[in-house]
Amino acid sequence: KELFFTGVLNASRLDIFQMETWGQLFPILAWIASTFTFVYCLIFVTKTFLGKYRPQKLEKKPREVSWGMILPPLLLAVLVVLFFFFPNEVAGFLLFPAIASILPGFIDSGPGVVVISAWHGWTPELLMTLGVVIAGSILFAVVRGRSDFYRRLPEQFSLNFLYDRFLVRSTEISFSSINAYMTGVLRHYLLYILAFLVLVLGVGMWRLQCFAFTPGGDSPVSLYEIILALVLIVAGLVVLCSRNRLSAIIGMGVMGYIVVMFFVIFRAPDLALTQLVVETFTVVLFLLCFHFLPKMAGHMEPLAFRAGNLIVSLAVGALVTVAVLTAQSSRSFAPISQFYTEKAYELAGGKNIVNTILVDFRGFDTMLEILVLCMAGLGVYTLISIRCAMGDDDENP
């Protein structure tokens, strides 16, 4: 409590609150609130440990706890007393060695921790604390002797009634607000996330005026690249607007193979081969999985439903495009690709920069990725083996 009053008194000296006038009320209000807190804490303690013994109101016969349950709080109380009277010894034998094990240079540089003392003289904070104890004890004695006065008030004017009404009303408001957005529909949750992203990032970029687009340093765009980009857009629209799964799968396959061609144009043959293999297997897996699904429903969604999806999609797409263009045009430092261009052969002994990055500069990362792929392959092989064994058992019972 003395530390609390210290913070209040320090805050009351700040100029931003005009403490020469109204600011002096802060420590007074804090003292009054602490006095009432002391009173109801005394009520809790006295009624719990010094109240009348009424076993008829208990559902079960009470019994004393074992020493195993008394020992932990007793040990905690002893440690609190020891830490209070010997804080510097605890810091020197426990805290400083633990910090030094994490930060090796902590002891050499000097902790810079002041010596903690239990007595600082008759400070205003201590006097306020003593005043809380004295005034709270007197108020507790007065309230305890006249406890029936409060019960004579009408129920609607009692603090318990007001608190109960406030609690019930706040619970109703909380449930209504939670039920308004916790609908259990995945589409709603995605709308919340995407709308929040657009508002925060979009408004932030607009307020900070950080949009920049300077295509002067970009490579020239050829005609076939424009054609590939248009085909990619058309394939994406086919996936969105298709009425059967086969058309959607074909559209996704076309998009994947267009990405393969872009990798070839950007001189990344290893990524092109990887994308080609992954895209081929993905299309085949989709065809196998969707073969066992029921047919797509032929009903049309309402116009408001589709308009909401369109607005959110356009907003997210525009925001991502603007963010990418801004990141491309606003470089605070030189790109690191030049380091790999100049040092690839010297440090890794290879002229293919992509291979040197994958195998040498980030070799451990690539090795762990291969390990994950091997584990996934072993899992698939295990499932297939179990399935085949079950099929043999079914044929030969």
Q: What is the pLDDT of residues 107-116, one digit of tens each?
A: 666 555 667 7
Whether residue 309 has pLDDT greater than 90: no
Percent of the chain at pLDDT > 90 equals 7
Structure confidence at residue 321 as a pLDDT band (50, 70, 90): confident
Q: 8 CB contacts (<8 Å, ≥6 apart)?
A: 26, 27, 30
As a whole number, mean pLDDT of residues 114-142 equals 85
As a whole number, mean pLDDT of residues 347-351 equals 76
Q: What is the pLDDT of residue 374?
A: 86
Q: What is the pLDDT of residue 181?
A: 83
| pTM, entire model | 0.45
Question: Where do runs of H (alpha helix) occur along the chain?
Answer: 2-12, 25-49, 67-85, 87-90, 96-102, 106-109, 124-145, 147-151, 159-181, 186-197, 203-208, 223-241, 245-265, 269-290, 303-329, 337-343, 353-356, 363-395
| Whether the Cβ atoms of residue 351 and residue 345 lie closer than 8 Å to each other | yes
- Could you report the per-residue pLDDT of 250-263, keeping only the tens digit for each? 888 899 899 989 88
Q: What is the pLDDT of residue 55?
A: 78
As a whole number, mean pLDDT of residues 292-302 equals 71
- The pair of structure tokens assigned to 62 is 């009470």
Between 227 and 104, the more confident residue is 227
Backbone angles phi, psi at 335, to 5 degrees: -65, 150
| Whether the Cβ atoms of residue 210 and residue 330 lie closer than 8 Å to each other | yes
| Whether the Cβ atoms of residue 286 and residue 249 lie closer than 8 Å to each other | yes
Q: Tell which phi-psi region holds residue 185, choosing left (phi > 0), alpha (psi between -120 and 50) or beta.
A: beta
Q: 231 CB contacts (<8 Å, ≥6 apart)?
A: 254, 258
- The pair of structure tokens assigned to 313 is 């999609």
Q: How far apart are the C-alpha atoms of 60 and 72, rounded to whole Å? A: 25
Q: How far apart are the C-alpha atoms of 322 and 160, rounded to whole Å? A: 56
| Whether the Cβ atoms of residue 239 and residue 252 lie closer than 8 Å to each other | yes
Whether residue 383 has pLDDT greater than 60: yes
Q: How far apart are the C-alpha atoms of 140 and 258, rounded to whole Å? A: 81
Q: How far apart are the C-alpha atoms of 229 and 236, rounded to whole Å? A: 11
Backbone angles phi, psi at 145, to 5 degrees: -80, -20
Q: How far apart are the C-alpha atoms of 164 and 104, rounded to whole Å? A: 55
Q: How far apart are the C-alpha atoms of 230 and 218, rounded to whole Å? A: 20
Between 302 and 235, the more confident residue is 235
As a whole number, mean pLDDT of residues 178-204 equals 87
Q: Which of 109-123, 177-191, 217-231, 370-384 has the lowest mean pLDDT?
A: 109-123
The length of the chain in residues reads 397
- The pair of structure tokens assigned to 23 is 């600011």
Whether residue 16 has pLDDT greater than 50: no
Residue written as token pair 């540089």? 109
Q: Tell which phi-psi region holds residue 183, choosing left (phi > 0), alpha (psi between -120 and 50) or beta.
A: alpha
As a whole number, mean pLDDT of residues 158-179 equals 87
Q: What's the 3-state SS for 105-121?
A: CHHHHCCCCCCCCCCCC
Q: How far apart are the C-alpha atoms of 230 and 238, rounded to whole Å? A: 12
